[in-house]
Amino acid sequence: MDILKKISVSIQHGDDQSVFTLTKRAIEMNIPPKDILDHGLIDGMNIIGDKFKHHEIFLPDVLLAARAMYAGMDQLKPLLVKDGIPSMGKVVIGPVRGDLHDIGKNLVGIMLKGAGFDVIDLGKDVPPEKFVNTATIEGAKIIGMSALLTTTMPVMKEVITILRNQNLTDKIKTIIGGAPLSKEYARQIGADVYAYDAANAVESVKQLIQK
């Protein structure tokens, strides 16, 4: 079994120690960090998601997989973030109110930092006003919101409504992401852009910041 497959399987077993050791080894083998992420860690997490959906595993298994995911991500982080490059601008990010899924958002944050953006990470379960207030106070031009639950998706529209009511939509652009979202949903709620993964989020933010 190749090492990326082994990482994926260890994520599925929730074995954080193996994920740590295998990720370290993959880095030493000079496998590109993006490949370790996509074909190892994220692959494992996607399989966990499918099994959970079909009731083959339960919530504690998902929690263990998430912990194992961080054992790998923490090692990749310094490789994806380059220090000392001039700031491309500020981006406020977080999962919306009611949403505790932060792995994808953290990846987006890591990749944005790597591309030279100042990332203001609001953690998780972020109330709509907090996105707008922080962006205003910090002079951020972009608000990035994530939602992994169909029940939390509508909170994104609340943020956009606040921006509209305060006439801020020209100054502050919005990007949304997360597994249940789509380009069509972004259009429906008036978000400026939808990004399907972390690399696409970086490209989209670069384009938005130039507008």
Contacts with ligand B1M, residue ranges (CB under 6 A):
42, 45-46, 48-49, 52-53, 59, 62-63, 66, 93, 98-105, 107-108, 144-146, 148-150, 175-180, 195, 197-198, 201
As to burial, measured by CB atoms within 10 angstroms (0-12 exposed, 13-18 middle, 19+ buried), residue 27 is middle
In the bound state with ligand B1M, the residue whose beta carbon lies nearer, of 29 and 54, is 54
In the bound state with ligand B1M, the residue whose beta carbon lies nearer, of 17 and 182, is 182
Q: How far is the CB of 112 from ligand B1M (least distance, A)?
A: 9
Taking the chain, what is the end-to-end CA distance rounded to the nearest angstrom? 47
Residue (of 43, 31, 34, 48) closest to 5 by Cα position: 43
Which one-letter DSSP state was computed for residue 96? B
Q: How far is the CB of 41 from ligand B1M (least distance, A)?
A: 8
Q: How far is the CB of 47 from ligand B1M (least distance, A)?
A: 9
In the bound state with ligand B1M, the residue whose beta carbon lies nearer, of 22 and 72, is 72
49, 76, 101, 158 from 97: Cα distances, Å: 21, 28, 11, 10
Q: How far is the CB of 168 from ligand B1M (least distance, A)?
A: 17
d(C-alpha 162, C-alpha 178), whole Å:
21
In the bound state with ligand B1M, the residue whose beta carbon lies nearer, of 28 and 135, is 135
In the bound state with ligand B1M, the residue whose beta carbon lies nearer, of 28 and 55, is 55
Which one-letter DSSP state was computed for residue 110? H
Provide the edge-to-edge strand list for the sheet that holds 118-121: 118-121, 90-95, 142-146, 173-177, 193-194
Q: How far is the CB of 163 from ligand B1M (least distance, A)?
A: 15
